A and B are shown apart, each in its own frame.
Chain A
Amino acid sequence: MSIRTSQPSLGSEHSPDSPLSIHAMTVAYERRPVLWDIDLDITPGSLVGVIGPNGAGKSTLIKAALDLVPKLSGEVQVFGRPYREQRQHVAYVPQRESVDWDFPVTVLDVVCMGLYHTLGLFRPVNRRIRDRGMQALTQVGLSDFANRQIAQLSGGQQQRTFLARALVQDAALHLMDEPFAGVDAATEQTIVSLLRDLQSRGRTTVVIHHDLQTASEYFDHVLLLNTRVVAFGPTKEVFTPENLEATYGGKLTLLDQASQALAGHAQGVGR
């Protein structure tokens, strides 16, 4: 049972201008806590990497913030107001495997889905929506693929399609679940420059990331997560061997570190 009020009595910890402010959030699946007492204030305009071992609750953090999984307790505010009032400011990029890529839709159809909420319940997709969809596809370098069925795309192109669907929403806050998973080197570079571009335009982005090798290069803030927040702050201060050790439960031996890096590369090269 959660009580939602627009002015929580204990909400004084919420920073009103934070793009994403999570307070005392706990999430459990079948009584097993997946996230425990999460407190976070994302700095406006930052590019945040969320890092932690498998099962650390990284995806759940984003899904719970977006009300896609139920919370046991806690509150989420987006720019100082409850998320449900602020949906139009948030764009979500789910994991690529979360959908059926054999579905009969074209690349442009998928991108236009990012703008469905701007249309009334009964209004069909119109020219304005399609034009904006094409612009977003051009941004990710897929304009030539607009009328292809999504099954004909490579893994990297599918990921860029999802990014275009987020870009088209022109949101202030982007939440991305493993956008670098299983993409080719060219797509990885495209995504990195898109993230930088978003940041240069003052947008805030939270990215779940699995590759420790590139994390410090890509992100100016990192959130080290393992059920609890182990450490959160500017990458230079937080991304230390001691904190990583604590995040990976002391199990991150040299061998683990190497295989973590290898797994990242294998996924980057695979497919």
Chain B
Amino acid sequence: MTDWNLFFDGWIIAIAATCAVACTLPGCFLVLRRMSLMGDAISHAVLPGIAVGFLLSGSRSNGIMFAGAIIAGFFTAFFSQWLRRFGRVDEGAAMGVVFTTLFALGLLLIVQGADSVDLDPSCVLYGALELAPLDLVTLPFTGGLRVPRAFMMLMIVLLVNLVILISLFKTFRIAAFDPSQAAAQRMRPDLAHHLLMAMTAITTVAAFEAVGSIIVVAMIVVPAVIARLFVHRLGSMLLVAAMVGVAAAAAGHYTAVELPHLVGYGSVPTSGMIAVIGGLMLLASIMVNPRQGVIPRFLRRWRFRMQTTREDLLALAWRLEERGTAPTATILSQDLMSARRVSRLETRWSLRRLVDAGAFESQGETLRLSDSGRRDARDLVRSHRLWEAWLTRTIGLAPDHVHDTAMRLEHVTDEAMRERLASETGAPEEDPHGRSIPD
């Protein structure tokens, strides 16, 4: 267990969470407009702006550097749009070209001009979140309340983003969903677009110094993608994305401090860990989300398979009784295992569930079908034999080729379908193999 410091760790989480929420707001719209890479592009491309600002002013953390970064950010957004429109380059490629060029230019400028000073390129990528609580400023109008400068900056950016999005919510919605409709209605989709680029640039620049661009890139894309998996409306998407951002910030910092100790290392940078946690949360969301999640889909298939096994056992028992043989657990499982690939365990377990559900009554070795079990079994056999009749008569398949298909179809056939099958085959008494069709 590490020593937790309420002041330090509290502020680190607060700064990271504020940054995450500020990023998710433009992030949701960037993801919906398929421009997720814009955050990545801008956060790298601001480097020459920072470098020039630094060279002009000769110091870190001041207005000129910030202004240089924002200008570079706008330039990235503007120039990649320009390349896309006039150079006919695809959106992703345009952003890629612009930001790698600008990032490289920034690195050259820093190495060349800022050799003697403390501007470290890696700082731009990873930030110095752990040191942010040391740099305090006094909030105006609060009677001397002192908060970290990074927190104040990010909170201002967060509030600006929030005010813009709330006041122009419907413009942003229609511009992201259907820009041509927005234009036809004079809803100014261009205004929404430019504001979105501006929000992305300002948020990215405000965040890079304190927390590093790695968080910005992650928090612009990941919470939005997670939220989109779970909700149906834009407002809820923004809300869920913000909550995911906060959760990733808190969990990321906790993990960064605690996890390495468990395996005997010192703590790792929080900003990197937040991005990793974000990625893991996305992976988990893809597994569990109720609509297209991997696990729910697997469960649905598994349930269907188990139902199929139980129904096959019922139908087998009915056929045995039809031939005058008393069904036993051994005969049933052997019959089923010879019919299709199914494990002994699954068969035994399914039989037990059928007995528990009252479909079978066990009398010593014998498993007799109960009244309800016999009804279900008869429906299945009727479906099966009607399908065989239909497949041979209507489709013209050979009678020895229809059993397997009918065996699959019988599990998804309801009463209405049986009626139709019967009427389309002329309500036959016997299936193609000469066995009587129960009714």
Contact = CB atoms under 8 A, between A and B. Distances in A.
A105 B32 CA distance: 11
Between A106, A114, A121, the greatest number of chain B beta carbons within 10 A of the residue's beta carbon is seen for A121
B161 to A, nearest CB: 16
Given A92-B181, A92-B184, A104 B174 contact: no
Contacts, number: 75
Interface in B129-186: 167-171, 173-174, 176-178, 180-186
B173 A105 contact: yes
Contacts of B182: 116
A165 B185 CA distance: 12
B257 interface: no
B234 interface: yes
Contacts of A165: 181
A16 to B, nearest CB: 23
Interface string A101-118: 001111001100110110
Contacts of B188: 121
B47 to A, nearest CB: 33
A124 B166 CA distance: 9
B435 interface: no
B187 A106 contact: no
B173 A109 contact: yes
* Main SS at interface, chain B: helix
B323 interface: no
B340 interface: no
B180 A68 contact: yes
A87 B171 CA distance: 17
A116 B185 contact: yes
Interface string A140-167: 0000000011000000000000000100
Contacts of A114: 185
Contacts of A63: 180
A110 B184 contact: no
A94 B178 contact: yes
Contact of A105 (B181, B187, B234): B234
A253 interface: no
A90 interface: yes
B170 A119 contact: yes
B233 interface: yes
Contacts of B382: none
A165 B181 CA distance: 10
B216 interface: no
B174 A122 contact: no
B280 interface: no
Nearest to B178: A99
B170 A116 contact: yes
A87 B231 contact: no
Interface string A214-244: 0000000000000000000000000000000
A217 to B, nearest CB: 29
A103 B237 CA distance: 11
Contacts of A117: 185-187
A105 B170 CA distance: 11
Interface in B286-314: none
Nearest to B33: A100
Contact of A100 (B177, B184, B186): B177
B233 A104 contact: yes
A92 B232 CA distance: 25
B385 interface: no
Contacts of A98: 178, 180
Contacts of B176: 103
Contact of B168 (A90, A122, A148, A149): A122
Contacts of B184: 66, 68, 87, 90, 92
Contact of A104 (B169, B178, B234): B234
Interface in A20-78: 63, 66-68
Nearest to A169: B185
A66 B179 CA distance: 13
Contacts of A92: 180-181, 184
Interface in A239-265: none
A125 interface: yes
Given A90-B184, A103-B32, A124 B170 contact: yes
B168 A121 contact: yes
Given A98-B178, A122-B167, A104 B232 contact: yes
Interface of A: 63, 66-68, 87, 90, 92, 94, 98-100, 103-106, 109-110, 113-114, 116-117, 119, 121-122, 124-125, 148-149, 165
Interface of B: 32, 167-171, 173-174, 176-178, 180-188, 228, 231-234, 236-237
A-B pairs with lowest CB-CB distance, top 10 = A149-B232, A117-B185, A92-B184, A99-B178, A122-B167, A104-B237, A103-B177, A113-B174, A104-B234, A68-B180
